[in-house]
A and B are shown apart, each in its own frame.
Chain A
Amino acid sequence: MSVVEIVADADAAVAGIADGATVLIGGFGAAGQPVELIDALCRAGARELTVVSNNAGNGEVGLAALLKAGQVRKIICSFPRQVDSWVFDELYRSKRIELELVPQGSLAERMRAAGAGIGAFFCPTGVGTPLAEGKEIRLIGDREYVLEYPIRGDAALIKAYRADMAGNLVYRKTARNFGPVMATAAATTIVQVDEVVERGDIDPEAVVTPGIYVDKIVAIGPAAEGAA
C-alpha cells in the first residue's frame, strides 16, 4: 500500500501484530525507544514474539515491560546487559527467553540488507570470535569475512520527531539511531512522532526517512519529563 495511515492512538497502530511476529523495535537505551507503541503492544497481548532491538530493556518500562509480560520468546540484540536490565537478566538466567547476540554494526547492517533487497553479505566483524561460530567464513583478498543474513521484521515500531502527511520522517539527535534502518526492513512500519504536519512542511532536502517506508503514524506528543 502506498497510502500512509494516520491512526488515532497507539493501540490502533499496533492492532495488526500477531502472535509469533518478528518485531523490530527502535532505540538505543531510552533514546528513540517508542515507549507508547511498546506499551500498546503489551496491552494488545501478542505473544511468542521475536524482538530485534539494540538493548533488552531498561527498568520496568517500554521494552522491559514487554519482556516482563512474558510476550517475548526470543530477542536479537547487541547489548542486553545493562545496569538496569534486571527484567531481561532474570528471564535469561531462568532460561525463559532465547538470546541471539549480534555485533551492533552487523545488527544494523542485517536490517539494512533486508530493506535493500540484499540476499546476504560478507562482513569482517566477528571473524575469529565466538559470534562467528557456525557461520561461513570467506577469504576475499587478504581478509576473512563472515557471511551474515538479513533480518526482516513483520513489523517495526520506531520513534521519530516529526512526520508529514506523506509519511516523511525527521528524527531528533541521537534518538535517530536504528529508526531509519528498521523503517526499511519491516512489512509494516509503525511510527510514533511528536507531531504530524502538512505535506510541504518538512523540507524535502531534510527528509531522513522517505514516506515510502512508512505505513502507520500516531502522534504522541513530546515525551513527558522523566519518561523513558
Chain B
Amino acid sequence: MTVEHLDRGPLDRAEIPARVALDIAPGSYVNLGIGQPTTVADYLDPAAGITLHTENGMLGMGRTALSGEVDPDLINAGKIPVTETPGASYFHHADSFAMMRGGHLDVCVLGAFQVSVAGDLANWHTGAPDAIPAVGGAMDLATGARALYVIMTLFAKDGAPKLVPACTYPLTGRACVTRLYTDLAVFTIEPGGVRVDETYGISAAELAGRLGVPLTS
C-alpha cells in the first residue's frame, strides 16, 4: 500500500539521498554515482558496515578529503580527493568493472534524465546534436549492480514527467532500474509495473494524474 505523506511538502535535495540511505542494508557493497548520488554517503550509518566502491579501483572509500588530507593519487569517480577507511583495498580498472559486471555490488545509486516504466535508464546523453558524449562507467554500473537505485526530480524544469512510458533520450541500460527516488514519490519498478511506495506532499491519485503512466499501489 502506498504511504502518503500529506502533512509535509516534497523531499528536498538533502532529503532524497537521506531517504535512499534508509534502504541500503547493513553490510552492503555500494557504488554511488557522480553528483547527488555521492551525497547518500553522508546519511549512511557508520555502524552499518557499508563498504563504498569507486569505479576507479577502490573498496572502502572514505569521506571527502579535508585540506591537509588531499592526496592527488586518492580520488573518487568524480575526481574529488577522498580518504581511505581501515580495510580498504585498491585494484585495477578491469577488476573494478569485473566486480560490477559480475554482480558483486549490492546497490548502485545513479542520477537520471529519464526512467521508463520498464526500468530503462537514460542518464548519459541528452541526444542534442552538438553535445559531446561521455559515458564513463554509467552503462557498466546500470548493467552490473544487483539493485539500481535512481535519484532524480520527478518532473523536468519544463514540467515534463521524467518517469515515462519509454525513454526519448538515448538509453544507458534496459530494464535495470529497481527503485526510483524523487522529490514527490518513491517507486519500485518490477517486471509487472511500477508501484508507488510513498508520496510526499501529493496524494497518490493526484500523482497518477500528473504522470499519466500506469501505476500500482
Residues of A within 8 A of B (CB): 28-32, 54, 78-82, 88-89, 92-93, 99, 101-109, 111-112, 123-131, 171-181, 208, 223
Contacts and interface: CB of A to CB of B under 8 A. Distances in A.
Contacts of B71: 173
Given A175-B73, A176-B91, A108 B97 contact: yes
B206 interface: no
A32 to B, nearest CB: 7
B58 interface: yes
Nearest to B34: A79
A178 B137 CA distance: 14
B174 interface: yes
A124 B176 CA distance: 12
Nearest to B61: A174
B136 A31 contact: no
Contacts of B96: 105, 108
B72 A31 contact: yes
Given A79-B136, A92-B132, A223-B72, A176 B90 contact: yes
Interface stretch (B15-23, B49-57, B197-205, B209-217): B49-57
B100 to A, nearest CB: 6
A103 B58 contact: no
Contact of B174 (A79, A104, A109, A128): A128
B8 interface: no
B134 interface: yes
B180 to A, nearest CB: 19
Contacts of A28: 56-57, 75, 79, 93
B93 A177 contact: yes
B135 A131 contact: yes
B135 A101 contact: yes
Contacts of B130: 93
Given A108-B93, A223-B72, A124 B101 contact: yes
B134 A103 contact: no
Contacts of A124: 101, 143-144
A80 B94 contact: no
Given A108-B94, A129-B139, A174-B90, A123 B101 contact: yes
Interface stretch (B153-161, B165-173, B187-195): B165-173
Contacts of A30: 72, 79
Contacts of A180: 92, 94
A127 B147 CA distance: 18
A101 B97 contact: no
Nearest to B74: A173
Contacts of B140: 103-106, 125
